[in-house]
Structure 1
Amino acid sequence: MTKISIGPRTLLYPHPDLIIGTYGPDGRPDAMAAAWGGICSSRPPAVAVSVQKVRQTYENLMREREFTISIPSVDYVKEADYFGIVSGRDTDKFAATGLSPVKAEQVNAPYVGEFPVVLECRLLQTVEVGVHTQFIGEILDVKVDESVLGPDGKPDIEKIRPFAYDSMRQEYYALGGVLAKAFSVGKSVRR
């Protein structure tokens, strides 16, 4: 198949929709939508999110060095999008959306109470990458709503119902069902 070059882009499928929770300089809970992020280490468990220096969240992260990542369900796509549209400098995003800021137990940061999955993180290091700073946080705890656990006690992605962001089209997409069993389906490939 022939591939056509579209040049260097911020293109990766899928981009997660992550909501970074921090406290502002006045102690007010703040949240920011970020699609530039993902797991970056297994041991210690760690996640990386990239934030531009002009963002209030950047200042909060540099000052507090602790944060949460809330993973919204498709039921909250409007509110999650709003977290990426307005600045925490002049807007109380929690009050505007009607969502609940909950103080994390392991770190000094808020999370979104209505979102089904939360990662509580302490900053390990920062990496300057162009106009962004990548914040690498050790995951100290993961909190999951009981309602999204499967019969095996593990989080069930079909109950969590997260969504993905398409940076090229600037659209959100729901995820589909199970495609195959990981670390198993590939065993049928013959050498």
Structure 2
Amino acid sequence: MKKSLGAKTLAQPTPVWAVGAFDEDGKPNAMIAAWGGIASSQPPAMTVSVRPSRHTYAGIMKHKAFTISICNEAMAAEADYLGMASGKNEDKLARAGLTAVKSDVVNAPYIDEFPLVIECTLLETHEVGVHTMLIGEIKDVKCDEDKLIDGKHPDVEKILPLIFSPGARDYHTVGRRVGKGFDIGRKYLKD
């Protein structure tokens, strides 16, 4: 029997994404966001929801671009810190020992130490309660070469992306491979 938990943001899991932008003064900044996902295949696009009160938000609005640096298990403490401090008050990247790299395709920085980066231009915004959903068109994806399968696809078991469990407020990482997508369910297809 399932127990009702009420209307809460308890989707499992949520991402741990470092949303990067230059602030209004041009300084690299990043914040951690957990509300996000893929929005479209054509054009390739993704969403991330940010509170307008966040320092990163103003930079995204000014420069019309952002990056998503996907944190891995090894950088969990650095990612957690990026979600606790404000770039308005300090240089969070320097304090955490992280390297900001200016994207060569969008006007935003990404975090070099995080193994997978998605670079986006801002397509549109939608106000949803206390957050603004940012929809970004993906202009490029960069991945550490040693984290690729066949040199062309990110390997989740090599990246070990950090994921977040809302409610419990715990960080985890992914588990083992279960099966091949669009294959293990074939037994239910009609011949």
The equivalent residue for 2:33 is 34
Percent identical among aligned pairs is 48
1:29 deviates by 0.4
Q: CA deviation at 1:25?
A: 1.6
Q: SS at the partner of 2:163?
A: strand
Structure 1, unpaired ranges of 5+:
none
- What does residue 93 of structure 1 align with? 92
Aligned residue number for residue 66 of structure 1: 65
Judge conservation of contact 2:145–2:151 (CA < 8 Å) in 1.
no
How far 1:4 moved relative to its partner?
1.1
Instruction: Give the counterpart letter for 2:85 in structure 1.
Output: V
CA distance in 2, matches of 1:104, 1:153: 20
Corresponding residue number in structure 1 for 2:53: 54
Partner residue, 1:177: 176
Offset from partner CA, 1:125-156 (integer Å, 9 cap, x none)? 00000000000000000011111012353211
Name the Cα RMSD after superposition. 1.1
Q: What do the CA deviations read for 1:141-172 (whole angstroms, capped 9, x no partner)?
A: 00111110123532111111102100110000
Which amino acid counterpart does residue 28 of structure 2 have in structure 1?
A: P
Q: Which amino acid aligns with 1:141?
A: D
Length, aligned pairs only: 190
Kindly provide the CA deviation profile for residues 28-72 of structure 1, in whole angstroms up to 9, marking residues without a partner as x: 100000000011101100010000111011111111110100001
Q: Which residue is 1:145 aligned to?
A: 144
- In the alignment, residue 105 of structure 1 is paired with which amino acid? D
Q: Is the 8 A contact 2:17 2:69 kept in 1?
A: yes
Q: Helix, strand or coil: the match of 1:79?
A: helix
- SS at the partner of 2:93? helix
Q: Distance in 1 between matches of 2:151 and 2:22?
A: 35
Change (3 A) 1:185 1:23: same
- 1:77 maps to a residue whose letter is A
Q: SS at the partner of 2:61? A: helix
Instruction: State the one-letter code of the partner of 2:26.
Output: G
Structure 1 match to 2:42: 43
Matching residue of 1:161: 160
Residue 130 of structure 1: aligned partner: 129
**Partner residue of 2:187?**
188
What is the match of residue 118 of structure 2?
119
Assess if the C-alpha contact under 8 Å between 2:45 and 2:135 holds in 1.
yes
5+ long unaligned stretches in structure 2: none
